[in-house]
């Protein structure tokens, strides 16, 4: 995730939380969870709701079916 974010959203990665560099397993795990939480809220956001589609203004009138 971090590598894709670095390539696709470099500005977001630049604002990611800094790691503490304590080199302790539990601190590294917590840092990774914080980093993933940041990416989840910054990148993986739902798209805006779709607006109802309207037919184009130049749509030809519909013709009734032809009986054979």
Question: Each residue of 20-58: pLDDT tens digit?
Answer: 888 899 999 999 999 999 999 999 988 888 887 766 566
Q: 13: how many CB neighbours lie within 10 A of its CB?
A: 19
How many H-runs (helices) and E-runs (strands) does the chain carry? 3, 0
Residue ranges of domains in the chain? 2-42
| pLDDT at residue 66, rounded to an integer | 67
Q: Is the pTM of this model over 0.85?
A: no
34: left (phi over 0), alpha (psi -120 to 50) or beta: alpha
| pLDDT at residue 3, rounded to an integer | 93
């Amino acid at each position: 995730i971090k590598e894709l974010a670095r390539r696709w959203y470099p500005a977001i990665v630049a604002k990611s939380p800094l790691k503490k560099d304590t080199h302790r397993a539990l601190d590294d795990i917590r840092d990774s969870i914080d980093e993933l939480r940041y990416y989840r809220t910054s990148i993986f956001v739902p798209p805006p709701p779709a607006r109802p589609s309207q037919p184009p203004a130049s749509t030809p009138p519909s013709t009734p079916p032809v009986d054979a």
